[in-house]
Chain A
Amino acid sequence: MTVAVRKAVTRAQVEDFLYHEAALLDDWKLREWEALLTDDAAYYVPPNDRPDGDHRQTLFLIADDRERIRQRIIRVLDPNCHAEYPRSRTRRMISNVRITGVDGDLVSVTANFVCYRYRRYERIREYVGVYRYILECAGDSFRIKERRVLIDAHELGSLGSVSFIL
């Protein structure tokens, strides 16, 4: 009997992947970002007052399945997506990356983030929170199976819309 032994996933590998993802999102390379997703990927932004809610029973800000993510990308790249035209400039800082679980090919990861967003001439908006990922091992790298963005603010308030990919 042979036992497949996977080399342990390291935090450095996960960090490299998350930094790469952040760069793609900040650069609006959304088609390349989409290529990082598994075929059943999901993207969630829970409501500020129910960060641990279930999207089937709780009104989220965003609860996209894979097809909805595809449609979201089509929408935000369209110049008629007025909320993102001209596009927001964003810059993400990612830290406190932790591998919180490994289950076969799946790696659970959390990371703190700050995403600074500028639109036209307005003042900065700072989205602060935690990314929670379920990553699927793919060769030397990963694919994103689930991407959950928890915003720390008690309400969206002056952060306004989440019209870009947070």
Chain B
Amino acid sequence: MSPRSYIIDDREKKTFLLDREVLVSEDILRKEMAQIFGQCWIYVGHASELKKAGDFRSRKVAGRPIIFCRDQEGRFHCLFNTCRHRGAIVCTEREGNRRRFQCIYHGWTYGNDGRLVGVPGDEAYGEGFDKSRHGLRRPARFEEYRGFWFMCLDAAAPPLGDYLARAKDYIDLVLDQSSSGQMEIIAGVQEYDVAANWKLMVENSVDDYHLPATHSTWLNFMANSGVKIEPPKEEGLVLPTRGMAVELGNGHFTTDNINFRGRPVAKWIPLYGEPAKAEIDEIRRELVARLGPERARRVADTNRNLVIFPNLVINDGSSVTVRTFYPEGAGKMHVTAWALGPAEESESARARRLDAFLTFYGPGGFATPDDVEALELVQQGLANWSDDRWSEMSRGMGKEGEQLNSDEHHLRIFWRRWNELMGVPA
């Protein structure tokens, strides 16, 4: 069978269609695991999760159990959490601080740098047995950009910095809200499953077209709290303010919106309460003094949902969320979401940030559960895929110049890149 394209990308007719098979097929998922998750840079964790030498977190990244840890010298590692002897998980705790990881099966012991340091009864092995060759295996590549650590299973991949391309500018914007330049993952993780294909979460994370229909109860809540939600004045807009979709290279993209929903970094809304005004003014003054008025406005008065291809989303909106998600079968994904905040943030500002997070995001938020519902309804509807084959994604196609966040330009960027990596040129 010759490779075929999963998209119909007809720029002349301004038509973009997606073959729904890519959202339901286990065969395609297997191919994705090799050609997408096996070749792209995949987010592992944030430096702030490991504050001291010996700190570790064990987690699954793209289906791979790994240990994200720091050795006694403080160097960061990403180790496969698989004993070299017979393959058991060697670290069973979620997090902690350890010098050694000992497999419970036969007692092989590894240092927190991955080296094999102990083999019970090792005199029984032949001369050819070399402990130094039996350290925990690790992904071919492991690099960071400003505290965000990624792994790559492909030794021949370009460096992370090149891979991230212009997405780095948008990570920089997130970091600029911290006077120390240090953002940290806040304690408390939200982990939940969505009975939908993982790629639907990519779409949903940046699709501002869906906001009025899916999130009317959130818009009501905002209005009830005193935020003026005015109907769009410009033709073509579906949201109160103008927002763009921006291509960032290598399949990455972002929305870039004029804020109307408040931001803990220096955009007060009544929801935060009168007493918060003075502190938010102070945060704004610090931003302007450090960054100048223009950059300060950029940081405080825009919100941006950034997708790092294929599966890292940084939403710098009502709060900052770092969200990643992995397929667990074609029709199911596992989502992990953290809150990110300036490391030096005051106690009151931190509390406000967390509260603002929960107004929208997460399994108990006022918006995310409805996103989950929408994605699950899509997956359920796709049971008809073989007789109703194509998803429509042509919104705004052929438009010159700036692209609206409520069009589907950025979704097409994702799908074109995905299609290319799956080895089927459009």
Residues of A within 8 A of B190 (CB): 47, 59, 61, 156
Residues of A within 8 A of B334 (CB): 157
B220 near A82 with CB under 8 A, answer no
Check if A93 is an interface residue, CB within 8 A of chain B.
no
Check if B339 is an interface residue, CB within 8 A of chain A.
yes
Residues of A within 8 A of B362 (CB): 59, 61
**Contact A56/B366 with A75-B220, A83-B372, A157-B334 known, Cβ cut-off 8 Å:** no
Q: Chain A 58-76 against B: per-residue CB contact (8 Å), 1 yes, 0 no?
A: 1111110000000110110
Contacts across chains A and B counted by CB atoms under 8 Å: 120
Q: Chain B 308-340 against A: per-residue CB contact (8 Å), 1 yes, 0 no?
A: 000000000000000000000000001000110
A49 near B370 with CB under 8 A, answer no
On chain A, the number of residues with a Cβ less than 8 Å from chain B's Cβ atoms is 36
A160 near B217 with CB under 8 A, answer no
B217 near A78 with CB under 8 A, answer yes
B221 near A71 with CB under 8 A, answer yes
Q: How far is the CA of A60 from the CA of B190 in the complex (A)?
A: 8
Tell me the smallest distance from the CB of A165 to a CB of chain B, in Å. 10
CB contact list, A133-154 vs B, under 8 A? 154
Q: Chain A 108-119 against B: per-residue CB contact (8 Å), 1 yes, 0 no?
A: 000000000000
Q: A-side binding surface: helix, strand, loop or mixed?
A: loop
B355 near A63 with CB under 8 A, answer yes
Check if A105 is an interface residue, CB within 8 A of chain B.
no
Partner pick for A82 among B224, B357, B373, CB 8 A cutoff = B373
B338 near A59 with CB under 8 A, answer yes
On chain B, the number of residues with a Cβ less than 8 Å from chain A's Cβ atoms is 39
Residues of B within 8 A of A55 (CB): 351, 354
CB contact list, B349-397 vs A, under 8 A? 350-351, 354-355, 357-358, 362-364, 366, 368-370, 372-374
In the complex, residue of chain A having the shortest beta-carbon distance to the beta carbon of B186: A59
Binds A, one of B109-117, B171-179, B191-199, B280-288: B191-199
Q: How far is the CA of A56 from the CA of B348 in the complex (A)?
A: 8
Tell me the smallest distance from the CB of B232 to a CB of chain A, in Å. 19
Q: How far is the CA of A123 from the CA of B374 in the complex (A)?
A: 18
Check if B25 is an interface residue, CB within 8 A of chain A.
no
Which has the most chain B C-beta neighbours within 10 Å: A78, A83, A155, A157? A83
Residues of B within 8 A of A155 (CB): 189, 191-192
Given contacts A56-B351, A74-B220, A156-B192, 7 further A-B contacts (CB under 8 A): A56-B354, A57-B351, A59-B190, A61-B358, A63-B355, A81-B370, A160-B195
14 pairs, CB–CB < 8 Å, chain A vs chain B:
A48-B189, A56-B351, A57-B350, A58-B354, A59-B187, A62-B358, A71-B366, A74-B217, A74-B220, A80-B217, A82-B214, A82-B374, A160-B194, A161-B363
